A and B are shown apart, each in its own frame.
Chain A
C-alpha cells in the first residue's frame, strides 16, 4: 500500500510520523497557526493600537504612543457611556426575552401534535436565515410611513386614530425594536439547546429513578436539572456573548441613530474605528468587550467541567 511505499522512500520521516508526540502536533499545527496569526496577533495589535494615536491617515507614516489617553477620552465621551449602557440593557433584556420565548418553544415542541415538523421548521427560520437578510424584513415592518405593525395595531384598535409610533425614529422605541429583533433572532437557538439538553438525559437513568421510586419533583430537581443545567448554560452563555458583541442588528436597523442614542459597543467601535478611521480610539472601544468575553469563557469552562462529572 502507499504506506509501505512511503516507508521505503524515507525511513526517517515515516518513523517520526509514527510517533504520536510528533504526528499529533503536526496535525494540530495548521489550526493553531491559523488562530495565532489571525486571532491572537490581531488581538495583541488591538491592545497596541488602543495605546497609540493611530488613524487611517497616519498608519503608514508613523504614529506615536499615547498611553491611556484613548481610554480617558472614552470616559468623557457621552456617546460611549450611552453605548456601554445600551450594550448592557440590550444584551440582558434581549437574552431574557429570548430565554422566555425559547423555553416556551421548547416546552411546546416537546409534545407531539399534528404538523409539528412544519412548526419546528417555521420557528427555526429566524435563527437559520442570515441575520442581515432577516433584519431587513423587520426594517420594512418598522417603516416610518408604511409600518405593518402600526397598521395591525390600529386594525386591532390598540392604536388610536392619531397614533403612529416611529419605531426606529425615537430613542426608546428604537432600543425596544432592537431588543425584540435580537430576541426574535436568538430564541430558536435557546429552544433547540434546551431540547437538545433534555434529549441528552439517558433513558436508563430515568428508568432507574422510576424503579427506585423517585417522584416527579425528585426526578425533576435531582436528576433532570443537574443534567440539563450545565448544557443549557453553555448555550445561554453563547447566546449572551453573541448579544453583547453583536452589532449587525443595530447597524442594520438604526446605524446607531437617532442621534447616536442606540449605539452598542460593537457599532460604536465600527463607527469610530472603521467609518471615521480613528483606529486607536476604535480599538479602545472594542476592548471593552474583553471582560465580558473572559467572564463568558470562564463560565463556559466551569459548565463544561460540571458536565464531565
Chain B
C-alpha cells in the first residue's frame, strides 16, 4: 500500500511538472515548427500540425534574411542596447556608490525613492515624452530610445549597485584613504576593481531590459530602418491582414532565444535585486 501511495505521489508530481512545462513552452514549440514548415504543410487542415508532414524548409528563414530588414533590426537593437548599457553604467554606478556610502541618513530614503521610479510605466509617460522627443529632434530615430531607455535601467541598476557596494567592506577603502588616496581615488582604484561582477550584471541587465522593451519603441519609431528587432518583427512582417507566419516565427525565435538565455543566466541577480537589494 505504501509503495502504491508513494508511486501515486510521484506520478502526480511529474504530471504537474509536465503540465507546467507544456504550458510554458507550447507557443515556442509551435513557433519552431512553424518557422521550418512549408506553406503547404502549414495551411493543411487535415494533417497533424505538431509534426513535419513534409520535409522542413529554410525558405522562411531565407526570406527573412534576404527580403526584409531583419538583420538591420538586430543591429539596431544591439546598438541601442550597447549605448543604453554605457549610459546606465556611467550614471548608475556612481549613484549606487553614493547611496551605499555617502548620502548620510537620507541614503536609504533616496535609494528606495530611486528604486520606486522603476515602477513608473511607459504607458504613463509616452504621451508627454513624444513632444519632448520631437523637440530634441529625435522623432522617428532609434536615438530616441537610447535617450529614453535609461529612465528604467538607471533606477534598477543603481539599486543593484547600491546592494553590491554594501557588500564590500568599508575598511578596504579606509585603508586606501590612510595610504593617502583621495575619496574618489579610493573609489576608482580600490572599489571598482572589486566590483567587476556587479558592473557586468548592470551591463547585462541594461542590455536585456532594453532588448525587451516594446511600448516606447512603438511610440517613438516608425521608419522601417530605425526599428529595433522587438518592434520590427511584429509590425513589419505583417502586410495589412496578411501574416507571414513562417518568417514571423523564425524572426521571433532567432531574436528572442539569445536574449532569453542571457536573461536566464543573470536571473538570480535580478531576483536578488527585487527581493533583497543585496547582490553577492
Q: Do A and B bind each other?
A: yes
Query: Judging by beta carbons under 8 Å apart, are B252 and A200 in contact?
Result: no
**Complex interface: chain A residues within 8 A of B260 (CB):** 124-125, 128-129
Interface of B is mostly: helix
Query: Judging by beta carbons under 8 Å apart, are B154 and A193 in contact?
Result: no
Chain B's closest residue to A282 (CB) is B127
- A195–B92 Cα distance when bound, in Å, is 27
- A30–B245 Cα distance when bound, in Å, is 45
A297/B116 contact (C-beta < 8 A), A14-B182, A245-B121 known: yes
Query: Judging by beta carbons under 8 Å apart, are B131 and A28 in contact?
Result: no
Indicate whether B104 reaches chain A with its CB closer than 8 angstroms. yes
Query: Judging by beta carbons under 8 Å apart, are B20 and A35 in contact?
Result: no
**Complex interface: chain A residues within 8 A of B90 (CB):** 30
Q: Scoring A residues 101 to 132 as 1 if CB is less than 8 Å from chain B, else 0, what string do you get?
A: 10011001001010000010111111111111
Query: Judging by beta carbons under 8 Å apart, are B27 and A134 in contact?
Result: yes
Indicate whether A162 reaches chain B with its CB closer than 8 angstroms. no
A101/B20 contact (C-beta < 8 A), A43-B124, A289-B121 known: yes
User: Which one of B97, B104, B182 lies within 8 Å of A7 (CB-CB)?
Assistant: B182
Chain B's closest residue to A123 (CB) is B24
User: Which of B126, B148, B155, B234 has most A Cβ within 10 Å?
Assistant: B126
Indicate whether A279 reaches chain B with its CB closer than 8 angstroms. yes
**Complex interface: chain A residues within 8 A of B127 (CB):** 46, 49, 269, 273-274, 279, 282-283, 286
Select the stretch in B42-50, B60-68, B192-200 that faces chain A: B42-50
A128/B276 contact (C-beta < 8 A), A108-B16, A123-B21, A141-B27 known: no
- A160–B25 Cα distance when bound, in Å, is 26
Indicate whether A79 reaches chain B with its CB closer than 8 angstroms. no
Task: Give A1-59 interface residues, CB cut-off 8 Å to B.
Answer: 1-4, 6-7, 14, 17-21, 23-25, 27-28, 30-32, 34-35, 38-39, 41-43, 45-46, 49, 59
User: Which one of A23, A125, A196, A235 lies within 8 Å of B28 (CB-CB)?
Assistant: A125
Q: Which 5 A-B pairs have the closest CB atoms?
A: A24-B102, A245-B121, A137-B27, A266-B123, A3-B185
The contact sample of 19 A-B pairs, CB cut-off 8 A, is A31-B95, A32-B95, A38-B148, A45-B131, A49-B128, A129-B257, A129-B260, A136-B31, A136-B233, A136-B249, A137-B30, A148-B50, A235-B275, A245-B123, A283-B127, A286-B126, A289-B123, A289-B124, A296-B119
Q: Which chain A residues have a beta carbon within 8 Å of chain B's beta carbons?
A: 1-4, 6-7, 14, 17-21, 23-25, 27-28, 30-32, 34-35, 38-39, 41-43, 45-46, 49, 59, 101, 104-105, 108, 111, 113, 119, 121-138, 140-141, 143, 145-146, 148, 151, 184, 188, 192-193, 195-197, 200, 231, 234-235, 238, 241-242, 245-248, 251-252, 265-266, 269-270, 273-274, 279, 282-283, 286-287, 289-290, 293, 296-297, 300-301, 304
